[in-house]
Structure 1
Amino acid sequence: MIIDKLYEECNKKSPICVGLDTKIEYLPKFLREEDTSVSEKIFTFNKMIIDNTSDLVACFKVQIAFYEALGIEGLKAYSKTVKYIREKGKIVIGDIKRGDISSTAKAYADAHFSGDFEVDIITVNPYMGVDSISPYEDYMKNDDKALFMLIHTSNKSSKDFQELEVSGEKLYMKVAEKCKTWGENSIGESGFNRIGGVVGLTFPEEFLEIKKECPNTFFLIPGYGAQGGKGKDIKEIFKGGVCGVINSSRGIITAHKGKSEDEDFVKYTREAVISMKDDLIG
């Protein structure tokens, strides 16, 4: 099962997920000035980061919005990036946050679990109910695909809806219960199932509440670093063992800014990952 492999990678290397939320302005000067296409510039930047951090991290997450914003050239870079990660034997999460009726969800499944944009795990929004989740099951039957569904996100305004009370319970806990129920028949050797949850490190108390409700759920954890999440928070959450991957995007892929605009920029990328690893697990 892919979640078992992810759990194993977390324990072998570190529970770090590098977020490739790449923008043109993040590229060092030598790449921005190269006489190549936008897609080649973006891919070269991503490839250099992947090559210089893959031995330290559990996985990579590629947020598709940053590539869609660049049109066809951006989507070419997205496709090449996710293919390259998988060719290296690493796990890639497609951060697409799709959520729609079953017929549309089936098309999203086809688009992101096969073809040019194929990844190992995708993020989904469950707020349209089980109809928006079940179409992915066909791809998950072979245990080489998985989902991370939104439970309690890291942004401040997540409280607008996710913390509303529904029948005496916070809405995010209702979603957590569904996450547990929908994945309970697919528990792997690691003790985790193939429907994981997205919970922000910016809400550590709520995270512990969700973890208690969902002991077999593996988590994708945003909010570390730039958004305020700290290593001490994850150490509390990881008492008893690793139960998720912690994503960092800007803190890693822009670590070279103000230090290098040349090919040695990846030295600072790698240093940022090592520093994060030390903060998380010491």
Structure 2
Amino acid sequence: MSTIMDKLYKRVEERGVVCVGLDTSIDYVPEHIKNERSEEDAIFMFNKQIIDETVGVAACFKVQIAYYEAMGISGMMAYTRTLKYLREKNAIIIADIKRGDIAATAKMYAKAHFTGDFEADFITLSPYMGMDSIEPYLPYLEGGEKGIFSLVRTSNKGAEDIEYLDTTSGDKVYHIVGDKLMSIGEKLISKCGYHPLGGVIGCTHVEEGKALRERFKSMFFLIPGYGAQGGKAEDVAMYLNNGNGGVVNSSRGILLAYQKENRPTEFAKCAREEVIRMRDEIRMAVDKL
């Protein structure tokens, strides 16, 4: 049986590693889209055109819920419509929700984001409350149709505050977190060689890239930090396995590509061009390894 991990692996093989981040603020939307439209319609129209232009050249899409929650009910309607449209286009969806709670609360989060109006293929979680904050999501993973990307070692400077603390074993905290996720995931390995408990592994600490890829061999990576946070294509390449085993997220770099060239009426075409540029740059870096 083909799983969601097999599907994502194949998409990366076919289309490259780029994950389009739909972290859409109303401020990003060109005026000609906003004119005579509600904020909900403007956000959805912007997302729709970005999706139409990039779906054939991107591995997946990550929709950051905070941008939509900040707009209230209308924002959440735009969020729901965006998820529905992505499903219609047979796109792979990562809902970036970063939940991290336990017991009945976590069960409700799992139900909310793996079924119904907010359904996605993958969701992001924060495991730093403990592995029992992950457990309520596992029943959805057993059928192979859903997956998780759990925070392991993030790209922000504040990662050093907790994730980089030493443990009695000599490992960092993030090593232990990754190991525990691997222990759970090894029981759910797909044909492609990866399990559905992926890890969020930032590419901004380049010196650790090869060691992390070796340590977490069967963990698929969601890789932030490329571009604005300083991560380069050659950095990203070290977190991949021969160009696969991970997806690289870019949000503003893609959504706002039109601003660099002052082409607001061609914002979606500019987004496509940026995805292709980013994809090809990373492929070239992988080939040089």
TM-score (norm 2): 0.94
SS at structure 2 position matched to 1:156: coil
- Using the alignment, how far apart are the partners of 2:89 and 2:241 within structure 1? 31
How far off is 1:260 after superposition? Answer: 4.0
Query: 2:49: which partner in 1?
Result: 48
- Using the alignment, how far apart are the partners of 2:174 and 2:207 within structure 1? 13
Cα deviation, 1:145-181, whole Å, max 9, x if unaligned, reads 0000000001111111110001121111011111111
In structure 2, runs of 5+ residues without a counterpart are 285-289
Stretch of structure 1 that moved more, 102-111 or 256-265 = 256-265
- Using the alignment, how far apart are the partners of 1:217 and 1:115 within structure 2? 27
Cα RMSD for the two superposed structures? 1.2
How far off is 1:124 after superposition? Answer: 0.3
Q: Would you say the 8 A contact 2:200–2:222 is kept in 1?
A: yes
- Using the alignment, how far apart are the partners of 1:200 and 1:281 within structure 2? 18
- Using the alignment, how far apart are the partners of 1:101 and 1:54 within structure 2? 35
Q: Would you say the 8 A contact 2:142–2:188 is kept in 1?
A: no
Q: Would you say the 8 A contact 2:206–2:235 is kept in 1?
A: yes
Superposition map of 1:158-237 within 5 A? 158-167=159-168, 168-237=170-239
Residue identity over aligned pairs, in percent, reads 49
Query: 1:75: which partner in 2?
Result: 76
- Using the alignment, how far apart are the partners of 1:237 and 1:134 within structure 2? 27
How far off is 1:208 after superposition? Answer: 2.5
Query: 2:140: which partner in 1?
Result: 139
Query: 2:111: which partner in 1?
Result: 110
Query: 2:240: which partner in 1?
Result: 238
How far off is 1:241 after superposition? Answer: 4.4
- Using the alignment, how far apart are the partners of 2:280 and 2:149 within structure 1? 26
Superposition map of 1:54-93 within 5 A? 54-93=55-94
Q: Which amino acid aligns with 2:84?
A: K
SS at structure 2 position matched to 1:226: coil
Q: Would you say the 8 A contact 1:99–1:127 is kept in 2?
A: yes
Q: Which amino acid aligns with 1:16?
A: V
Query: 2:34: which partner in 1?
Result: 32
TM-score (norm 1): 0.96
Stretch of structure 1 that moved more, 200-209 or 101-110 = 200-209
In structure 1, runs of 5+ residues without a counterpart are none
